[in-house]
């Protein structure tokens, strides 16, 4: 069973773990990704975000169902996520219908490696034809 996909649920679980650390404290190789994500401003275009962070790893689109569905979230048209290290939640950026940023999660890290069930599944992979263009600058 996949873990819940909403940012609220991920944040609640991370907080419940009681050991949230800045990305640079645990996964130095990905610290720059979290640091760059933290610099993104609401209203930034999708193209600029992907140019700054590099190609995304996963994309959740409006047509998706299941635990990561965004279709019922007001004002959300796309969610891009970047793998951010073995002990870090994915960097997540949410976009509205105009493909402008409305929310950012820079991918907090925890003491232990994340269970792979907390990561998006293959159905959301940016290697899939229906979302590949959304993941590139």
Model confidence pLDDT, tens digit, residues 48-81: 999 999 999 999 999 998 889 999 999 999 999 9
What does the H/E/C string look like for 70-107? CCCCCCCCEEEEECCCCCECCEEEEECCCCEEEEEECC
d(CA 82, CA 89): 9
Rg for the chain, CA atoms, rounded: 14
**Phi and psi, residue 36, nearest 5°:** -65, -40
Q: For position 20, what pLDDT does the model report?
A: 33
Residues 30-41 have a mean pLDDT of 81
Rounded to two decimals, what is the model's pTM?
Answer: 0.76
- Domain extents for the chain? 7-135
- Range of lowest pLDDT (18-32, 74-88, 94-108): 18-32
**Helix 31-38 × helix 46-53 angle, to 10°:** 150
Model pLDDT for residues 114-126, shown as the tens digit of each residue: 888 889 999 999 9
């Amino acid at each position: 069973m996949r873990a819940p996909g909403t940012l609220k649920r991920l944040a609640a679980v991370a907080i419940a773990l009681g050991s949230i650390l800045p990305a640079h404290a645990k996964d130095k190789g990905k610290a720059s990704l979290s640091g760059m994500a933290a610099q993104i401003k609401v209203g930034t275009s999708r193209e600029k975000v992907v140019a700054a962070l590099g190609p995304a790893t996963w994309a959740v689109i409006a047509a998706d169902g299941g635990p990561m569905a965004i279709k019922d979230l007001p004002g959300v048209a796309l969610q891009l996520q970047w793998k951010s290290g073995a002990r870090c939640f994915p960097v997540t950026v949410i976009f509205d219908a105009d493909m402008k940023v409305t929310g950012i999660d820079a991918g907090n890290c925890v003491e232990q490696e994340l269970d792979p069930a907390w990561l998006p599944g293959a159905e959301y992979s940016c290697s899939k034809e229906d979302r590949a263009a959304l993941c590139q600058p």
